[in-house]
Structure 1
Amino acid sequence: MDAYGDLPFPRTDVALNAMRFARGIEDPAIFNHSMRTYLYGRFLGERQGLRPGHDYDDYQPKT
């Protein structure tokens, strides 16, 4: 997930394992499309005032 390190993806063990699994079985174009789709959905939700971790499940560990 190095290419996505600075982007707001969930960083739980489950989420990271799911991303590794998907990257391992999907064509890179499909995997990257899925990652962009998540970010776009998150962006749209935030534009509507939705908050990660409050209005939808999106755990982000504190750094």
Structure 2
Amino acid sequence: MICPKCGSEQIATVASINGLWVERYKKCKACKHNFQTCEIIKVDRELIEYQKVVLKQILKDSKNQKEA
């Protein structure tokens, strides 16, 4: 895992949330940038399509929060 802002590999996991996927909140030790990753468990085609819709909404919401 590398920081999407500075490219450093010095990443710490701050928190994890388990559900249909695992959300991990991470922080770069080098530049202090906070970011989130999602690990998706692939079960079947229908679930995968549902997860794509949910992830798009999460990314959209995240983008809107940053702009506000």
TM-score range, shorter chain: 0.3 to 0.5
TM-score in terms of structure 2 length: 0.39
- In terms of fraction of residues, the more helix-rich structure is 1
Higher relative contact order (CA 8 A, sep 6+): 1
TM-score in terms of structure 1 length: 0.41
- In terms of fraction of residues, the more strand-rich structure is 2
